[in-house]
Amino acid sequence: MMESKTTSKTSCLKALLLRAWRERWSDLQWGVNIKTVLPRGVSGDVYDLADCILQQAVVGSGANQLVLSYLKHSLSSQLVSHAAVLQRLAKFQQLHKTHCVASLLDFLEGILPGITCCGKSEGTKLAAALQATTSWLLQVLQSCYNQQQLYNKALSVLREFLASPFYLAMMCLAKYVDPENYSEICQRCRELECVREDLLDSIHILLKMDLDVLSPQQNKDPGPGCLVQAWLSIQMISSPGASTHSLVQRLKLMKRLKHYSDARLYSELMRGSLMSLHDVRQTDYASLWGAFAFLKVPHLLAALADDSDGNAILNAVDLLLEHSPLLDAMDAQHSCSNLDTLLGELVKLQLLSETNKQQLAKRQGSGSGLQLDVESSTSDITKVIICAEPTVASILKTLSTDYQNKQDALLGILLQVLTGNSFELVLAVATVQGQLRTLVQRLVRFNEVSKVGGDRARSQFFDISFLMLVAIVQSHGASAVLDGGDSLLEKWVTNCMVEPNKPKSPEQLLKLCDPATVNALLRQFNAGDADFSSVNIKWQDILFNMAGVMKEVLIAWEQGALAPVDVKRILDAIRGRMCCLPLAAAAWLCAYMRTSPHDTLLKPVNMVRELLLSAPNVDDVSMRERWQLTCTIIKKMEKDVQLSLKPKNGGHLVSRQPAAEQLNIAWKDCINKGWVDHVSARTLHCLLDTAGARWFVSSVLQELLKLRYRDQLEKGADIALAIFHVDIQSCAYQLLSNSLPQILHNTLQANSLVEPQISTLARLTSHSVYAAVCSSTEDSMEEIPPKRLRTESMEENVLDALRQLLTTLETGMQDGQISQQTYFTFELIKSIVEVGSSRSEAVVTAIPATLGSQLLKTLPELFTPGILLHLHDLHTTQGRSFAARDLCVLRNYQLRNSKSNVTT
């Protein structure tokens, strides 16, 4: 019944249209009479009005302009929708009627400025209609490419289509509404590629029709910044042995955050590493930074360059050459060309050719006033680092052999490593290459093989490997290098070693002792005998019983049973031939001092000092190197119990200054310099470790919001993001759940939020969220299953906190009222959608579905079609419907605004 009514009404409309044409009604007459047929409030789309008019308009060889005027009037009076008109126009296939095609193109060009829709359910229909019209325009171009006038008209209309952000957004949406039609468009584009070159720009847009087409146009080269350098400074403190994959993923994220080109990212990586190396010159960290700058960075560039064009590395070095003061200062310091060394490593990895290297080196030489003698720089850190790389590979290869067959060779290798600063260099290279854990595993294996004493070589091997392992654990932490096995070394580290964040109870150490063994050792040491020549001796029996020996000696001295000369004799015997024994003795003494009253510390302090006297006078060529390493380890133990004789400036926070004051000093230093030096990075790292993420994030935000100028704020946001990477997930969570609500909902603080602080704070927030999500992805790929569960949970916590923050902000909004919170909310979601990454979808889904629409009502002038389209999930019907609705709301606002401007 309904169908017959519709057919009857359509017949009436057709009859009315024929009458209007015969009587030559004006468009106003048409408008009056059509209302006698259409019920009030009913769209002509229900009765195919647009189809009827267009069919009548193209009956002859040329389009009937009078009938087309009726269609224009029907559009302007909203009797038909733009979607219905465009869909019917796209069905016109009589392309041999060139006059009709030309008239339809003129008609289309005329209505283009005002195409929109007002009904809530018509948005997706309009998107599909615009896509169908685009397909029709391509058909016209295919059929009339030899008719220049018609071809130019069709091309002009197509270009006008593609120049409009609204039309592009609707066609991106239509790609998900009607994927088959989009496939046809792609096929026609490929066919047209070979026909006309003037179509290539339009074809490129159509073939890449995705959300990236609508991304805001960013500065192609924002110039050098401080994010990469600051992050590197923090990274080398918190995780110097991070894998290449992990570092590459983080660098790629920074590229998206800062909208860097490939060349700029690579240049920032090289510049940041060289700046940090120059900063730590003549310190204990020079080897580590040298290994990173000249060995790790080239491999990072090789991994990054897989996804870039072939000239990116060359362009990156060109950008690096712009920082000639840095390069000149480093070359003057080392009396050689650091750039030449770096370029040599890039050539080895085939990232540059030898010709490129020579040309770039010549450019640096012509721009510098320094005359360098490269041949005389054999002692330079860069040369030593390069030479240390094959040495590490040789050591690892040698340690993988059988101990019994290669005992002399292994002992020779280890003795060579202990000579001079070779051990420091080997550790630096192994660390940045991700080989440190492998080195430790092999040293542990050989330490286990030699733990049963006997011949002198076996004892030396045990002693050297034990010292090396303890030194590595002391520098990097047990969790970073050990697997938690049951080897002698791992048991001793777990139960006896003094570590800064893992205090050991001296009484617990004594429970590991055997009284009979303690008494036997006391008799031997009291006799001044340091020779353990028995083939049945087990070094673990001695090491784990040194705590009991030290306790007995200390008590006897305190009670007067031993004189100082007796104590000295015993301690001299302990450090007689094996360095692991005074090390074990000092471990218990330091553990004892950590828990003892201050007035009882004099004697144990003196015992430790006695152990640190000059190297024992024994006939052993390796004793000097072993003893130096032993003293270094024991002195670090002293620092860990806060009893060092010199003022402490090490890696753990011990200062009379309040934490807020330390943060303020380090922060100002970084802002004034524009980069993060090693001392400031360590201070900030330790503040976060000591005070926790909640206090630290709030304090950093307070410092950030004190800045007033845009360039300072940008530096501050980059430095803050870099520092948060110490524990990015905890910092991001605290930022969202604690710090931002305090600022935004505290009237006194919120009223002080103005531009550019609001946009900077929003950008820091979105970047922190992406960094936290990216970090959890990396961890879940590389860590063990329990860690994976933890990181996935942390990611959910961060996203839940973001969702809760935005929900709270949306609830606090009132229609038509604009506040700082309103602007912050807009800037935050804008920054979220601008970043764009493989993890964008997870972050965008945390934005409440109605938030974009709510903001659109309040701040329509700030929105773009691209932002709106990114806010919705286009894979779902509801998401597409909401996206089309918001796009049309924005379109109608812009049309009204443009009309009012014309009127005024």
Confidence of residue 786 (pLDDT cuts 50, 70, 90): very low
User: Greater confidence, 262 or 45?
Assistant: 262
Helix (H, G, I), strand (E, B) or coil at 538: strand
Of 215, 218, 110, residue with least CA distance to 168? 215
Residue in the block written with tokens 């964040």: 501
CA R_g for the chain: 38
Of 55, 67, 54, residue with least CA distance to 19? 67
Q: Above 80 in pLDDT, residue 787?
A: no
User: Greater confidence, 882 or 371?
Assistant: 882
Of 621, 236, 626, 286, residue with least CA distance to 425? 286
- For residue 632, what are its two tokens? 């270094």
Q: Above 80 in pLDDT, residue 903?
A: no
User: CB of 766 within 8 A of CB of 717?
Assistant: no
Rounded to 5 degrees, φ, ψ at 147 are: -110, 95
**What angle (nearest 5°) sits at the alpha carbon of residue 102, between those of residues 96 and 107?**
135
- What is the mean predicted confidence (pLDDT) over 823-831? 94
**306 burial via Cβ count (<10 Å: 0-12, 13-18, 19+):** exposed
Residue in the block written with tokens 């057709």: 14
Between CA 260 and CA 265 the distance in angstroms is: 6
User: CB of 372 within 8 A of CB of 337?
Assistant: yes
Q: Above 90 in pLDDT, residue 129?
A: yes
- pLDDT of 649 reads 39
User: CB of 488 within 8 A of CB of 445?
Assistant: no
How many other β-carbons are positioned within 10 Å of the β-carbon of residue 757? 20
Between CA 393 and CA 376 the distance in angstroms is: 27
User: CB of 721 within 8 A of CB of 768?
Assistant: yes
Which of 50-54, 329-333, 865-869 is predicted least confidently? Answer: 329-333
Between CA 678 and CA 201 the distance in angstroms is: 49
Enumerate the β-bridge partners of residue 538: 452
Share of the chain above pLDDT 90, in %: 47
- pLDDT of 816 reads 67
How many other β-carbons are positioned within 10 Å of the β-carbon of residue 549? 26
Helix (H, G, I), strand (E, B) or coil at 502: strand
- For residue 795, what are its two tokens? 């990611």
Confidence of residue 400 (pLDDT cuts 50, 70, 90): confident
User: CB of 80 within 8 A of CB of 43?
Assistant: yes
- pLDDT of 3 reads 46
- pLDDT of 839 reads 55
Residue in the block written with tokens 């002080």: 752
Confidence of residue 374 (pLDDT cuts 50, 70, 90): very low
State which amino acid sits at residue 494.
T
Residue in the block written with tokens 């996203």: 799
User: Greater confidence, 262 or 332?
Assistant: 262
Helix (H, G, I), strand (E, B) or coil at 93: coil
Which residue ranges make up each domain of the chain?
9-214, 226-378, 382-496, 506-640, 659-863
User: CB of 109 within 8 A of CB of 159?
Assistant: no
User: CB of 825 within 8 A of CB of 806?
Assistant: yes
User: CB of 50 within 8 A of CB of 74?
Assistant: yes
Confidence of residue 642 (pLDDT cuts 50, 70, 90): low
Q: Above 90 in pLDDT, residue 31?
A: no
- pLDDT of 372 reads 41
- What is the mean predicted confidence (pLDDT) over 222-242? 91
**What angle (nearest 5°) sits at the alpha carbon of residue 249, between those of residues 245 and 253?**
170
Q: What is the per-residue pLDDT across 521-569, written as a single tens digit (0 to 9) for each?
A: 999 898 887 777 554 678 888 899 999 999 999 999 999 999 999 999 9
- What is the mean predicted confidence (pLDDT) over 742-747? 86
Share of the chain above pLDDT 70, in %: 88
- pLDDT of 650 reads 39
User: CB of 536 within 8 A of CB of 488?
Assistant: no
Q: What is the pTM of this model?
A: 0.85
User: Greater confidence, 740 or 534?
Assistant: 740
Between CA 892 and CA 904 the distance in angstroms is: 18
- What is the mean predicted confidence (pLDDT) over 210-238? 80
User: CB of 875 within 8 A of CB of 173?
Assistant: no
> Is the four-CA dihedral 899, 902, 903, 904 of positive or negative sign?
positive
Which of 9-13, 101-105, 289-293, 795-799 is predicted least confidently? Answer: 9-13
Helices of type H across 725-819: 728-734, 740-745, 747-750, 757-782, 785-811
Between CA 850 and CA 869 the distance in angstroms is: 13
Confidence of residue 779 (pLDDT cuts 50, 70, 90): low
- pLDDT of 792 reads 58
- What is the mean predicted confidence (pLDDT) over 653-660? 71
What is each CA distance from 179 to 82, 171, 176, 336, 748, in whole angstroms? 21, 11, 6, 61, 52
- What is the mean predicted confidence (pLDDT) over 801-816? 88
- What is the mean predicted confidence (pLDDT) over 849-853? 89
- What is the mean predicted confidence (pLDDT) over 15-31? 88
User: CB of 474 within 8 A of CB of 632?
Assistant: no
